[in-house]
Every structure is written in structure tokens, then in C-alpha cells.
Structure 1
């Protein structure tokens, strides 16, 4: 193969496109021809022609100039491209294409997708949370208890993992009731506890303190006593 031909290919450059455009073009209402048209617009813009004509664009595609014009109009109506006014150094006004609306739409699509994933994750965690509580209580939760759980999640903005940690702390202390768990959550929030590790550290520190002060201990097995901290005395 001729070396000069390879060099000319390299000098021609490449069209850089975000992979998210290839992944999401269908979701934002584009078909394959419209996608390729956008790529050609980007190609021309990268090379200094910010407002290629339908004739220039259709030469690179299997569509007519009229079809190209119609597609461009549709993309403008869909708010995926914009026609802006520019000013040259010689103070001459000119029109140019902008793909900024396209990037904004893709960003909105990613944000919406992330929110949906977060919502699904939250719903799963909340369902799992109710299940864990019912397992530890050994019975279905009462309407009032369900309301307490909802309040911790919705009003207090407690993370489900932190609520589970507070439940475990209550189990260790032998006081599996909502009043005791609520007091643990209140204390943790006051002390800035936001992670499982911080919660474990708080529980460990309080139990060490309780041991030093000669507080009561509880045991599931008489041979393995575990000191607990009475959160109600906080």
C-alpha cells in the first residue's frame, strides 16, 4: 500500500464522538440516518465549516438534498441542533450549527437514567429493610411501626444501611423495640454518623465506656457476655 496514501488518511483525522451518543441515540429519538447526519455535521465543524449546506452533507450520504434539508429541520425542531449567529473578525455576520442542544439532551438522559437506577435501588433497599425488621421482631410490623420506618427514611433521611445497623445495635443490647432504635438513630445523627463503619465504631466505643462504668451486660450465651450501652440514657 502506498505510504503517502496512509499518511493522507492520518492527516485527514478522525471524528471524535462520545460513546454515550452511540448508546443513547435511539432513546433521544434519532434514527440511523439522523445519527450519521449529525456525525457529518461534526466532521465539517471540526474542519472549520460550521454551516455545511444540505448539498455538501448529502454528497456524503445516500439521501437527496431535499431529504437532508427536511432532516435538518426535524433536528432543529427536536432541539437536538441549533442554528446560531456568529460574527467574523471582519464584523461579518454568519450562521453556524451548534450541537450543544444534543449534548444537553444526552446529559439529561444520563441524569434521568441515574435517578431511575437510584429509585429502583432505594425501593429494593426499603423492601429489604422491612423484611429484616420483621425477621428480627419475629412477626409482621404493625401500622405504627411501619410509619416509624417510613419517617426514618423520608423525614429523617436515614440511609437503610444505617437503620439496619441501629437494629443490630438494639439486638446486641437486647432491646429490640422502636423506641430504643429511634434513640440510637438520634444519637448517631447528633454525632455525625453517616457510614456503617462509623456506626460500628460508635457502638464499640459506647460498649467499652459502659464496661468501664460497670454498666449491665446481656448475653445470648452465658459463656460469652457482651457489654451493651444503654442508648436511652443518652
Structure 2
């Protein structure tokens, strides 16, 4: 076999073999989701082997990545903890197999894309103000809020969470409303940014722009509840907060 024939056979095998499509946006931003390089490679392999028989999947991927089965399981567990991956059991032709669901990864990519769009809009608006000779009053209005959130939550915020605060400010939520939403979330023991976002959007829907207006609405809500339950019997359960069931 000639050298040219060898090259020809190799290129045909290379370019006509199966392939997997990885979104460029994921490759550009996976570190912002807290994914390290080895976890990203595992995600690519899982996407590639998604239709493989589950009983051979771990063996195939660990062999290709040159890692131990235990390392594979640890990375899968870590991705689950980050809300990026869900492992489900499903029946395939009468037998039960494992299915790896990346819906969580997709949700976080959509959220990150939205935040990036907001940042681009804000940057564009800032350029417009600069051309008009109107500099921003505060070059970093989110820094104070980020510091307060880290103090209340007792941990550093992730890059995605910091960008979420910037999105709230871009959406014209006032500092005092954002802080009040944080206070209520901490009091309820719920520290999810989606929960806080749902509270802010609920206030926006009702046209509430200040903490005083929110407190007045709470009093009206409580008064309506008291009228519905006039003189409740002693020992009856306390009326739940109207925010208890809000969760995005």
C-alpha cells in the first residue's frame, strides 16, 4: 500500500466517523458555570456516548479518559450537585438502563446567555451616555450589594450570582427592594437567587417600588387574611406568608 493510499484511508476514516456537536457558547463559558476542564471533557464524552448501552458506558468513558471508575462517579456526583446533570433510570427494550439528562445545564446556559445580553445592553447604554458627556454616577453600583449578600449568606458569591445582581439593577430594581428581598429570603431559610427573583418580579407586577410600599401591601394582605379568619380558635396554625409558595 502506498503512502498516499494510507493517508487517503486515514482521512476517510477520520472525517466520516461519527461526531458530536458541542455548542460554541458552552465551550466559551463553561468555566463561568463552575465546570473544570476534566468535567467538561466528561460532559463531551457523555454526550458522545448518550446512546450507548448503559452497562458499558462507564467502562467506555473511563477507558477513553484514562481515569478510574471512582473518579467517574465523583465527577458525575459533582455535576449533579451543581444542578447541571440528572441521572435517571429508564427501560430500554425491557431492561433498565441509566439515562444522563442535561436539562439543568441547558437551563443555566439560557440564564447565563440572558445575563450576557443584559451586560451588552448596559455597555451599549454606557457608551451612549459617554458620547453625550453624561458619566455614570457610580462606576460599580453592584459592589455594595455583592458585599452585603456575601455577608448575609456567609460565603463568596459565584460569578453567575454577581451577574444576577447586576441584572436586577439593570431592570431598575432599587437597592432597598433587593436588600428587602434578601432579608426575607434569609428569614425564610431560602437562599436561592431564583426565589429572590420571583419576589422582586411579584413586587414589580404590583407596582411596588419602595420598602415602605411593600410593608404597606403586607399590612393590607394581613388585614384581608384576618377578615377571612375572624377570631380564629386558640391554637390554630399561624397564617403563612404570601411569599412561602413563591419559587421560580
TM-score bin (small chain): 0.3 to 0.5
Larger Rg belongs to: 1
TM-score w.r.t. the length of structure 1 is: 0.48
